Chain A
Amino acid sequence: MKNKFGKVIGINGNMISVAYEGNAIMNEVGYVHVNDKKLKSEVIRIRGNRAELQVFERTSGIGIGDKVDFTGELLTVQLGPGLLGQIFDGLQNPLPELARQCGFFLERGVYLSALPKEMKYEFNPRVKAGQTVKRADILGTVAEGLFTHRIMVPFYLYDTYTVDSIAKKGVFSIRDEIAVIKDSHGKKISLSMVFSWPVKRPIDAYAQRLKPSEPLITKVRIVDTLVPVARGGTYCIPGPFGAGKTVLQQITSRHAEVDIVVITACGERAGEVVETLREFPELIDPRTGKSLMERTIIICNTSSMPVAAREASVYTGVTLAEYYRQMGLNVLLLADSTSRWAQAMREMSGRLEEIPGEEAFPAYLESVIASFYERAGVVRLKDGTTGSVTIGGTVSPAGGNFEEPVTQSTLKVVGSFHGLSRERSDARRYPAIHPLESWSKYQGPVNKRKTDWVRELLFHGNEVDQMMKVVGEEGTSLEDYIVHLKAEFFDSVYLQQNAFDPVDAATTAERQRYVFDILLKILIADYKLNDNDDARSFINQLRQKFLDWNGAEWKSQEFLKIEKEFLNFVFEKSTQSEDDVDERLQKMFS
């Protein structure tokens, strides 16, 4: 592609107008020359010989007549071994390296390679010369930390190729030639371990897309039990500020049972990213015994960083996630927050003077959100293995009101909805997911008939609560009052979880099933209680014991001791024996 040039004829915030000659490509990358710096930008509209570009940097100092280079290429990311454990900005600039070169501040116009050529890996060839290969076929593998990283035929090569030569087993720099392949016309193509892919195009180099069926265990009890997430599925967490969206995402990024987590901090606070990137290297992943950072990629375009790069950051994140899915791995992409991404689109739409839709968001908001979430999925790869990308996005609705365009567009396309509520967070009931308003279309680790029964109880408990607000406690029958207490009890010992307690913070699927069954016994049993005060004091004592139990290590001495203690306590007060209750449960749920 021949390089083209243009010159700046207008500036409005982070958008510039450029007069060019020849052909311009929609979404191609251009560089604006300012003094001795070149600022990356992207074409977002073309009209006649005038193109509008969004600049990924601060625009101060740009003048009329400044030169613009067009590259002819779309915005891409580099794919190859060495991405894990890195911290990038929205354009895949490695931030720690940038800090080494530029110090405390983000200097504009400095672009570094995401995968520097000094990185070396031991390459194990998997093909021989003469073999036929197609896009995404495995040429060889390298060990990237815990994972076997597949070196594949780049996804943008759509022809059928013959391997001309392949490197022998040995250590190579990632930019060294490791293979030469010949296309159907006999043209030779040299390949290294790295290639690039445009971020706004989904990676589709798999054999088949499958239906998400396996649960993704987050170890957050309310999520796994009541509103589960599936591997390859999508979920969203809308909530007003301060309700705990980001904390919930952080907990998930630590404990979720997946191979790789890609965290996209999109237009949120820098402080939150800092917590993650300072703490993760020191946290040990219990499943692998290695540092959590080895399975994590952080894309961080915080709120004060340029807004156009914020729009790109979610695409960068999902592209990296899709790339690792091609390795047959389960990847979780956490996007915090998709509202900031939508706002970035709104800002550009405003500058382009497009006719605004609801709340001035662009009319194409819905389709853009839908196509983003659709990039999640379980796929069967060409070699028969499967991989998945699960997307969890937070939404920050204006005023905490879910009836706004971003939340509504998101709800249409996700499989699970974790709505956070202000009342629950004000009452310090964390995680503040509303158990009755939230929903999920996926199957979790706990039997659905059992969870439905509990949901019914919570619903009934809520009704009694509402009623009690009108008729008062004295106007409530003991029977109803006990329902209210049982629902409250379940809420406080199971749905609420202490994120700062080392044991309580993460509950495995096995423990969830176990605890849930015991809770069912307690909830289903009838008790000899004289009056409301008696009932409340009984439940309070029980709650106390149960909370201690939540803090006890799974199957430890203490765990077994407390369990025995409170079961005795329960069945002393109950009108049925434990065996009777077990039998009743058997009948109900078998």
Chain B
Amino acid sequence: MRKVYSKIEQIVGNVITVKASEIKYGELAEVHSAHGMSLAEVIRMNEDLVSLQVFSGSRGISTGDEVRFLGNPMRVSFSDNLLGRIFTGGGKPRDKGPELLENMIEIGGPSVNPAKRIIPRNMIRTGIPMIDVFNSLVESQKLPIFSVSGEPYNELLARIAMQAEVDIIILGGCGLKYDDYLFFKETLEEGGAMSRAIFFIHTAADPVVECLQVPDLSLAVAEQFGLQGKRVLVLLSDMTNFADALKEIAITMEQVPSNRGYPGDLYSQLAARYEKAVDFEGAGSVTVLAVTTMPGDDVTHPVPDNTGYITEGQFYLRNGRIEPFGSLSRLKQLVNKNSREDHRALMDGMIKLYALYQETLEKKAMGFRMSEWDKKLLKYGEQFESGLMHLSVNIPLESALDRGWQILAECLTPEETGLRTELIKKFWPKQELSATDGKDQTK
């Protein structure tokens, strides 16, 4: 049995300090107070002073409470019994099921050797044209959804979870509203996906330190399933809350803040989680889709900013739809070359035209006369928005590409598209082509 200490020297924020010996960095301890037992983790040691962050918070902890060191770091049980279960950020059951203690694995383990990774090659089809056509989601990708409070980001996450072809879905909720937690639960239950899902949920009302454990718990479990050959999709919502929890602990520990109070290692901390996304050579994969809410819709805020540098692209969810500007899937090149030969050209061409449409909109708003070209662009933009951009559109990739050509043909002549002649010859809807040919000759 490990040593028990019953004198807490200092309590600051959620961090307690005890005098103890033979403790290892990162070790767990149980803190027994009048309000029950909580786990705590060693985060700093200086001579015989050991500082621990208490998972359920320090409120109500007395300096005379008992601290019992467990001799092991934070662990989680891993087996198929996890499927369909719901846990808290401390790894305890949130549903009424039994506590799992078999086959404990460490969380926050070492990173994967880059030499053992493979180039991702499978598209995850979602039925959302703004993703499938313009920014394909790829197996083993890590991708955030940048959004602001009030946008339907959790609905989008749930929809992708339901439609994506994966073996296991893991939801990590950081500071999730209780309603949103119930929403996820109900959606997955109704869709019959709960039996292949695992939830680690920290709600907004739970102690903040538990929020820090959620991504590590979710990803450690995902990684193990990945090694068993499963394709795992991890959904994290919302990583800004995770970063805020980091900030809170860092300030408590009197670290020098770098930017808006966030610790200097925010980038490394976020990266350590996102980089768990992986395609294992000869085994399964872990794909991470995370919501990052941007405080004040400001993408230069440290959390979205650092996230953007870590992840392989981002989706901007604004006004209920995925914005084509700024949204980017860095891995799309790896999969959209094999889908259909017009995929890439159409993707770039349509976005360039949509950018011009936006300029025209500005001009229109300022009251300028619309030229013939402007009018064409306006028509194009409207059709693009209703036919492809709207989140209600739910069609497979190929149909979405065909619809793209249809929109182009209805609004523009072939040489106005900026697309290569050979593609136009092959994909331009036939009756439209002859009509514009005729017009060119009359010029």
Contact = CB atoms under 8 A, between A and B. Distances in A.
Interface of A: 9-13, 17, 58-65, 87, 95-96, 98-99, 102-108, 240-242, 267, 269-271, 273-275, 277-279, 300, 302-305, 307, 337, 340, 343, 346-347, 349-350, 353, 356, 359-361, 396, 398-401, 426-428, 469, 472-475, 492, 500, 532-533, 536-537, 540-541, 543-544, 547-548, 551
A536 B413 CA distance: 13
Given A547-B418, A547-B420, A274 B351 contact: no
Interface string B111-138: 1111111111000000000000000000
Contacts of A271: 117, 120, 140, 312, 330-331
Contacts of A102: 113
Contacts of B272: 303-304
15 contacts: A12-B45, A63-B24, A274-B119, A278-B119, A303-B274, A347-B265, A361-B258, A398-B300, A399-B299, A399-B300, A472-B368, A500-B333, A540-B416, A548-B420, A551-B420
Given A104-B227, A241-B308, A305-B111, A472 B366 contact: yes
A525 to B, nearest CB: 21
A242 B314 contact: yes
B145 to A, nearest CB: 14
Contacts of A303: 267-268, 271-272, 274-275, 310
Nearest to B266: A343
Contacts of B374: 473
B48 interface: yes
A127 to B, nearest CB: 39
A10 B46 contact: yes
Instruction: Say whether chain B's binding surface is mostly helix, strand, loop, or mixed.
Output: mixed
B92 interface: no
Contact of B355 (A12, A87, A240, A427): A427
B256 A360 contact: yes
Contacts of B302: 398
A60 B216 CA distance: 15
Contact of A548 (B281, B363, B421): B421
A540 B416 CA distance: 6
Nearest to B272: A304
Interface string B416-432: 10101100000000000
B25 A60 contact: yes
A270 B372 CA distance: 48
Contacts of B299: 399
A270 B352 contact: no
A55 B371 CA distance: 65
A474 B366 CA distance: 13
A278 to B, nearest CB: 5
Contacts of A540: 415-416, 418
Given A104-B116, A242-B313, A548-B421, A9 B264 contact: no
Q: What 9 A-B pairs come out closest when comparing CB atoms?
A: A399-B300, A60-B26, A472-B368, A303-B271, A304-B275, A360-B258, A241-B308, A304-B111, A95-B115
Contact of A474 (B274, B368, B418): B368
B118 A274 contact: yes
Contact of A347 (B259, B264, B337, B373): B264
A343 B269 CA distance: 12
A98 B302 CA distance: 35
Nearest to B106: A60
B257 to A, nearest CB: 7
A63 B22 CA distance: 6
Interface in B319-342: 325-326, 328, 330-331, 333-334, 337
Contacts of B32: none
B118 A278 contact: yes
B109 interface: yes
A98 B415 contact: no
Given A307-B268, A547-B420, A275 B119 contact: yes
B24 A401 contact: no
Contacts of B415: 537, 540-541, 544
Contacts of B265: 13, 307, 343, 347, 350
Given A9-B47, A104-B113, A303-B310, A62 B24 contact: yes
B45 A11 contact: yes
Interface in B22-66: 22-26, 44-48
Given A11-B44, A500-B344, A541-B415, A473 B310 contact: no
Given A269-B310, A360-B259, A400 B300 contact: yes
Contacts of B120: 271
B275 A99 contact: no
A26 to B, nearest CB: 22
Given A103-B116, A343-B267, A108 B110 contact: yes
Contact of B114 (A95, A427, A474): A95
Given A104-B280, A275-B119, A398-B302, A10 B45 contact: yes
A547 B256 CA distance: 53
A551 B387 CA distance: 31
Given A98-B113, A275-B119, 16 more contacts: A59-B26, A63-B25, A96-B115, A242-B308, A242-B313, A271-B312, A278-B118, A303-B310, A347-B265, A349-B264, A398-B306, A399-B300, A400-B305, A426-B325, A426-B326, A544-B421
Contacts of B117: 270-271, 274
Contacts of A541: 415
A64 B326 contact: no
B362 interface: yes
A347 B313 CA distance: 25
A2 B111 CA distance: 35
B309 interface: yes
A398 B255 contact: no
A548 B305 CA distance: 38
A104 B326 contact: no
A353 B254 CA distance: 10
A551 B337 CA distance: 17
Contacts of B442: none
B96 interface: no
Nearest to A93: B113
A99 B280 CA distance: 12
Given A269-B310, A500-B333, A360 B264 contact: yes
B21 interface: yes
A400 B22 CA distance: 46
Nearest to A345: B264
A270 B351 CA distance: 29
Contacts of A275: 119, 334
Contacts of A532: 371
B363 A356 contact: no
Given A426-B355, A544-B418, A302 B111 contact: yes
B366 to A, nearest CB: 7
A87 B47 CA distance: 39
Contacts of A87: 114-115
Nearest to A94: B115
Contacts of A343: 264-265, 267-268
